[in-house]
Structure 1
Amino acid sequence: TGLSNLGNTCFMNSGLQCISNTRPLTKYFLENKHLYELNRTNPLGMKGHIAKRYCDLTQELWSGSSKTVAPLKLRWTISKYAPRFNGFSQHDSQELLAFLLDGLHEDLNRVQTKPYVELKDSDGRPDEEVAQEAWENHLARNQSIIVDLFHGQIRSRVRCLQCSTLSIRFDPFTFLSLPLPMDNSMYLDHIDLKQCLRAFTTEEELGKDELYHCGKCKTMQLAKKKLDIWRLPPTLIIHLKRFQFVNGRWIKSHKVVDFPKTDFDPSSFMTKPSFREESPPLYDLYAVSCHSGILGGGHYIAYAKNKVNNKWYCYNDSSCKEVSADNINVDTAYTLFYERQGIDYGDFMP
Structure 2
Amino acid sequence: MGQTSGRQERSKKPEVAPREVMEAEIEIQNNKDETKEVKAKNQKLTSVFGLADLKNEAIGLYNLGQSCCLNSLLQVFLMNIRFTRILRRITVPSSPAQRRSSVPYQMLLLLEKMQCGKCKAVGPTELACCLSEHRVELFVQHDAAQLFLTLWNLLKKQMKKPELVEELCDLYTICIQEHVACQKCSFEVKSKSTMLTLPLPVLDANSHRLKTLEDSLQYFFRPEELTGQNMCFCQQCGRKTTFLQSMKLVHLPQTLTLHLKRFCFERSSRTHKLSHSLPFPQELDLRQVLTESQCQAEDSEKATWQYELFAVVAHSGSASCGHYCAYIRSLTDCKWYCFNDSEVCQVSWDDVKCTYGHSNLYWRETAYLLFYMKKHPQQPWPGVSECL
The reply to whether TM is greater than 0.5 is yes
Q: Deviations over 1:87-140 (max 9, x none)?
A: 4221101111111111111212534xxxxxxxxxxxxxxxxxxxxxxxxxxx9x
Q: CA deviation at 1:256?
A: 1.9
Match of 2:139 among 88, 95, 99: 88
Of 249, 252, 266, 1:229 maps to 249
Select 2:111's aligned residue among 9, 33, 58: 58
1:171 Cα offset (Å): 0.9
**For 1:298-336, what per-residue CA distance to the aligned partner results, in whole angstroms no more than 9, with x for missing partners?**
111110012222221101111111112232232211101
| Percent identity of equivalent pairs | 29
Indicate how the Cα distance of structure 1 residues 259 and 241 shifts in structure 2: closer, same or farther if over 3 A, else same.
same
Distance 1:59 1:209, change over 3 A: farther
Once the two structures are superposed, the pairs formed by residues 162-181 of structure 1 within 5 Å of their partners are 163=185, 165-181=187-203
Structure 1 gap ranges (5+): 112-138
- Check 1:208–1:54 CA distance in 2 against 1; reply closer, same or farther (3 A cut): farther
TM-score, structure 1 normalization: 0.77
Superposed CA RMSD in Å reads: 3.1
Q: 1:218 to 1:185 in 2, by over 3 A?
A: closer
Give the CA deviation at 1:28. Answer: 3.4
2:314 maps to amino acid: C
| Equivalent pair of 2:262/2:274 in contact (CA under 8 Å) | yes
The residue aligned with 1:116 is none
> Which segment is superposed worse, 232-241 or 144-153?
144-153
Distance 1:276 1:173, change over 3 A: same
Q: Match for residue 301 of structure 1?
A: 325
Q: Secondary structure at the match of 1:314?
A: strand
**1:136-167 CA-partner distances (Å, limit 9, x unpaired):** xxx9xx94331121122111111235545211
1:8 aligns to what?
66
Distance 1:277 1:22 in 2: 23
Consecutive unaligned residues in structure 2, runs of 5 or more: 1-58, 357-365, 383-388
1:1-350 pair list within 5 angstroms: 1-29=59-87, 32-35=88-91, 49-82=102-135, 85-108=136-159, 110-111=161-162, 143-161=165-183, 163=185, 165-182=187-204, 191-206=211-226, 212-217=232-237, 222-247=242-267, 249=269, 250-262=271-283, 264-267=284-287, 268-269=289-290, 270-275=294-299, 279=303, 281-328=305-352, 329-331=354-356, 332-342=366-376, 343-345=379-381
Deviation at 1:169, TM superposition (A): 1.0
Question: Partners in 2 of 1:57 and 1:293 — Cα distance?
Answer: 29
Contact 1:201–1:227 (CA under 8 A) maintained in structure 2: yes
Distance (Å, rounded) in 2 between the aligned partners of 1:246 and 1:333:
21
Moved more, 290-299 or 61-70: 61-70
Question: Helix, strand or coil for the counterpart of 1:290?
Answer: strand
How far has the Cα of 1:252 moved from its partner? 2.0
Larger relative contact order, structure 1 or 2 (CA cutoff 8 Å, min sep 6): 1
Deviates more, 1:294-303 or 1:100-109: 100-109
Query: How many Å apart are 1:344 and its aligned residue?
Result: 4.4
User: Residue 190 of structure 2 aligns to which amino acid in structure 1?
Assistant: I
Q: Is contact 1:181–1:195 with CA below 8 Å preserved after alignment?
A: no
| Alignment partners' CA distance in 2, 1:277 and 1:304 | 27
Structure number with larger C-alpha Rg: 2
User: Size of the alignment, in residue pairs?
Assistant: 305
Structure 1 pair 108–218 and aligned structure 2 pair: CA distance change class (3 A): farther
